[in-house]
Structure 1
Amino acid sequence: MLYYQMTGFMEGDSPTDQGRITLPKHEDAALFLDFDGTLVEIADRPDGITVPERITTMLKRAQDRLDGRVALVSGRSVSDLEAFLPDFDGPLIGAHGAERRIEGTTEHTQDFDLGKIATLQKLVEDYASLQSGFLVETKPTGVVLHYRQAQEHGALALHFMESLAEAADGFRLQPALCAYEIKPDSVGKDIALSDLLETAAFKGKTPIYAGDDLTDEPPLELVKSLGGTAIKIGGRESVAEYGLETPEMLLRLLEKWLA
């Protein structure tokens, strides 16, 4: 069942549409955005995305209108985000919260077993080499097996990654859209977001969070519990009260709000 949920064959009720989305006043708001599938369209390969100039312009406008209270919260590494958005100088939460760039300084949020991470990456790479269409993405604190180009073998990917995660103490399986990731069980986007909301720049502000994946459900739930605005991108079942079908729709909403 988990495999079919990941490939979109078992979509549940989606949140309400964009017509009802109400965003807080600029002076009261803090904006948090996932990257892949939220700001940009998902590509067949992690390195295959494109970042339209409109996104760079919108982020700059948001920083100006919100006095810098704009952060990206992604499963990608901080270095990946920096490569795709070189002009964005705000906070970056990478690797689901395992990495953070604050005021230009990037650091791991805690010490991780780098030897075990390297072993997990090697095992996944060896397994992926046996099946055409599998793609491995390594991260500073984990590894992802993508099967978007081999969806007929998604159940095999799940079985292998689930077994590997169960054998790796201190790590867990994180399902995503057409991908399975093994990451430390002590990190999460919601944990990182909660910490960021306690910093001086963001404290006391009303959070807005937009995300498209299962990894975004915990921060969406956190933001909703805080009285903020939680927006699910992609029409899948979510705890969020609002939903938009595409990144383009989110971009239009934010451009209108920031105008």
Structure 2
Amino acid sequence: MTHDFAIPPALDTTRHAAFLDFDGTLVELVEDPQAVAIAPGARDELASLARRLGGALAVVSGRRIADLDRFLSPARFAAAGVHGLERRRSPDGEVERLAGPETLDPVRNTIAAALEANQRLHLEDKDTALVIHYRTAPDLKDLAERIMAKATEGREDLVVMHGDCIVEVHPAGMDKGKAVAAMMEDAPFAGRIPVYVGDDTTDEFALRHVRNEGGVSIKVGGAEKASVAEFRLKDIAAVHAWIAAAS
């Protein structure tokens, strides 16, 4: 049997540190970002893996950590939210925030006015990031990008990122790769081999960092998704099967 991607090695709970994207990796992408759900069995398997890794498992997402906690409740994990602008180094630790929402107030006002005239687009306000969603209006992709470009014009302190049916802005200086690097500096991650699993273009920062550091970089999706990752898992079901098979 042939396939278009290299199967990753099994997670080794004695040596690896696992960093997992959320949307498109642990849960299916849906039209309403607040309507995602993880199967209780998959959530419990994730919690079991975190225990076997000695806590060296983190969810790394563009979402806020508070939202991740809500979707994964009652389980809690170390996490990097809003592409690393929020960070929690242990499940019961404090959430560190690297920027405040006031940084985006001028952009917030400009976007809100533009979207009032284009209500098929949806704004998600994460305090330290703003996201225009066009999953339900893919024909408005160019408009969403133009709105964001105009709202951020001249703001070198901000970065605009393009993901799966989204365009997002947040303060510059942070991405998922930098978030993983920061978390690897401290226990229980320090001294382990990083493993990163993600599906989106925003995950490429972390996939590149982990591969450069000699870790295990895993892209979710077929070969049609270009990636720097060394390995592939076909879909979300394959991710959960891989998690369940950890040694």
Verify same fold: TM over 0.5: yes
Match of 1:80 in 2: 67
- The structure that is helix-richer by fraction is 1
Counterpart selection for 2:234 from 225, 238, 245: 245
Instruction: Provide the rounded CA distance (Å) in 1 between the counterparts of 2:99 and 2:122.
Output: 27
Query: Aligned-pair distance for 1:24?
Result: 4.7
8 A contact 1:23–1:229 mirrored in 2:
no
Give RMSD over aligned pairs. 1.8
Mark the runs of 5 or more structure 1 residues left unpaired by the alignment: 1-14
Match of 2:141 in 1: 154
Query: Aligned-pair distance for 1:16?
Result: 5.1
Which string of whole-angstrom CA distances, capped at 9 and with x for unpartnered residues, describes residues 202-243 of structure 1? Answer: 111111110111110011011111221111112310000111
Counterpart selection for 1:55 from 42, 66, 78: 42
Where do residues 205-244 of structure 1 align in structure 2 (5 Å cutoff)? 205-235=192-222, 236-244=225-233
What percentage of residue pairs aligned between the two structures are identical? 30
Match of 1:17 in 2: 5
1:129 aligns with 2:116: yes
1:40 aligns with 2:27: yes
Which amino acid in the other structure matches residue 183 of structure 2? L
Query: Aligned-pair distance for 1:162?
Result: 1.9
3-state DSSP of counterpart to 2:219: strand
Instruction: Provide the rounded CA distance (Å) in 2 between the counterparts of 1:231 and 1:101.
Output: 23
Query: Aligned-pair distance for 1:22?
Result: 1.1
Moved over 3 A (4+): 105-109
1:71 aligns with 2:58: yes
8 A contact 2:89–2:183 mirrored in 1:
no
Q: Provide the TM-score with structure 2 as the length reference.
A: 0.91
Query: Aligned-pair distance for 1:95?
Result: 0.5
Which string of whole-angstrom CA distances, capped at 9 and with x for unpartnered residues, describes residues 137-163 of structure 1? Answer: 001212000011111111111112122
Which amino acid in the other structure matches residue 98 of structure 2? Q
8 A contact 2:11–2:243 mirrored in 1:
no
Mark the runs of 5 or more structure 2 residues left unpaired by the alignment: none
1:197 aligns with 2:184: yes
Aligned length: 242
Match of 1:254 in 2: 243
Match of 1:9 in 2: none
Instruction: Provide the rounded CA distance (Å) in 2 between the counterparts of 1:105 and 1:205.
Output: 20
Of stretches 142-151 and 123-132 in structure 1, the one that deviates more from structure 2 is 123-132
Instruction: Provide the rounded CA distance (Å) in 2 between the counterparts of 1:227 and 1:166.
Output: 38
Instruction: Provide the rounded CA distance (Å) in 2 between the counterparts of 1:34 and 1:201.
Output: 19
CA distance change for structure 1 residues 137 and 74 in 2, over 3 Å: closer, same or farther? Answer: same
Instruction: Provide the rounded CA distance (Å) in 1 between the counterparts of 2:71 and 2:61.
Output: 12
3-state DSSP of counterpart to 2:191: coil
CA distance change for structure 1 residues 59 and 150 in 2, over 3 Å: closer, same or farther? Answer: same
3-state DSSP of counterpart to 2:22: coil
8 A contact 1:223–1:230 mirrored in 2:
yes
Match of 1:168 in 2: 155
Match of 1:30 in 2: 17
Counterpart selection for 1:145 from 124, 132, 138: 132
8 A contact 1:16–1:241 mirrored in 2:
no
3-state DSSP of counterpart to 2:27: coil
Instruction: Provide the rounded CA distance (Å) in 2 between the counterparts of 1:207 and 1:16.
Output: 24
